[in-house]
Amino acid sequence: MANIFDYVRAREIAAYWEGLGSNKTPYLGATLFPAKKQLGLDLSWLKGSKGLPVSLKPSAFDAKPPLRERIGFDQIVTEMPFFRESMYIGEKERQELNKVLASGNEKAIDMIVRNIYDDATGLIESADVVFERMRMQLLSGGTISITENGVPLSYDYGFDATHKETLTTTSKWSDLDDSDPLGDIKSWQDTIEDDTGVRPTRAICTRKTFNYLLNNAALKTAASNANILPTEKNIKAIIEEELGVTIAIYNKKYNSSGAATLFFPDDVFTLVPEGTLGYSYYGTTPEESDLMNSPGADVSIVNTGVALATINHNQVPVNVETVVSMIGLPSFESIDQVFIATVHS
């Protein structure tokens, strides 16, 4: 008789995930920081300002992965540059699943296996969330800071303080009558061009931040003078025509302790140059380096460097564990060509 674990192996889960991923829109950060793989986590590869290595406070690797247990149990998520999370199917669940297999009900078997796959791919999605959070922290603040689960980690990329500005008083973009967004953006472009010879031509902000532009008196007047309505499309077109800047509105969110949280914060407007800004570097996890050829374990690599392992624990208590692990940090080779503005505080 077939066993449920003949169905639930890393290679099958990986194929299922790849099928889902082919229909997904990639995170914005993944398009700006393409994925690269390297052995281990040699931070001399990860460049910040002036091409210097990123400075960081390390965390221990020899930590047991927290379990994401099934319905009825709290979910525990850890978010670190060395990311590892697991879930298991225990003895009771195995007995129930084996009953379904014995019945030969293919629809019931397919439904159960799909639910298990969805749980496992949720772990992979969590790894994607971790990376996107790091990339968006870089683009909105120039540093990465992770404090979940009592493990404070900070990464200093050496962002140039003169490439940041916080608007005050009537210059805040929330002052719709007196602020001058076009003048501000041009000034920030000039600063980067004067310092680096590269003029930023792209911008990132949330919808709330863009609404300051949409409702700005000067931009409304510009639209009126051009005999067009002050719509999102037209305001973007005015800014692109005047300054050569195309704006990406990024309002994608993730689940943080049950609350929907923006990857990129409100009230920040970031100018970036054309092309790749850096790379999403994946290292080699212990699961990839040590379990690839281990008996009782099946390991697949997804998303360039996320290790997915299914491990058969034959000792008491008997269970099968699914582990997702990732070692990763973005590099930021274009950091000196980026300007970060806080337009309302």
pLDDT digits 0-9 by tens, 283-336: 887 777 766 666 667 788 888 888 888 777 666 555 677 888 888 888 899 999
Protein fold of 4-155+278-328? putative capsid protein of prophage fold (3.15.30)
Given a cut of 60, is residue 259 above it in pLDDT? yes
pLDDT band at 76, cuts 50/70/90?
A: very low
Given a cut of 80, is residue 70 above it in pLDDT? no
CATH 3.15.30 intervals, the chain: 4-155+278-328
Among 37-41, 116-120, 186-190, 280-284, the range with the most confident prediction by mean pLDDT is 186-190
Q: How far apart are the first and last CA of the chain?
A: 64
| pLDDT given for residue 133 in this prediction | 93
Q: Which of 240 and 100 is assigned the larger pLDDT?
A: 240
| pLDDT given for residue 186 in this prediction | 98
pLDDT band at 56, cuts 50/70/90?
A: low
| pLDDT given for residue 112 in this prediction | 72
Q: Which of 144 and 215 is assigned the larger pLDDT?
A: 215
**Cβ contact 134:32 at 8 Å:** no
Q: Which of 150 and 27 is assigned the larger pLDDT?
A: 27
What is the mean pLDDT of the segment spanning 219-246?
Answer: 96
pLDDT band at 79, cuts 50/70/90?
A: very low
Among 18-32, 102-116, 265-279, 325-339, the range with the most confident prediction by mean pLDDT is 265-279
Among 22-26, 80-84, 141-145, the range with the most confident prediction by mean pLDDT is 141-145
Report in angstroms the alpha-carbon separations of 245 from 190, 199, 204, 237, 338: 13, 10, 10, 9, 13
What is the mean pLDDT of the segment spanning 55-76?
Answer: 42
Provide, rounded to the nearest whole percent, the portion of the chain with pLDDT above 70.
77
Q: What pTM does this model have?
A: 0.82
| pLDDT given for residue 223 in this prediction | 94
The answer for residues whose C-beta is within 8 angstroms of residue 41's C-beta and 6 or more apart is: 81, 82, 283, 327, 329
Q: Which of 132 and 292 is assigned the larger pLDDT?
A: 132
What is the mean pLDDT of the segment spanning 32-48?
Answer: 74
CATH 3.90.1690.10 intervals, the chain: 161-276+335-342
Lowest mean pLDDT among 47-51, 77-81, 195-199, 233-237: 77-81
**Mean pLDDT of the residues in the chain:** 81
In the numeric block, which tokens belong to residue 230? 């002050």
> What CATH homologous superfamily does 161-276+335-342 map to?
phage-related protein like domain (3.90.1690.10)
**Cβ contact 122:139 at 8 Å:** no
Whole-angstrom distance, CA of residue 133 vs CA of residue 145: 10
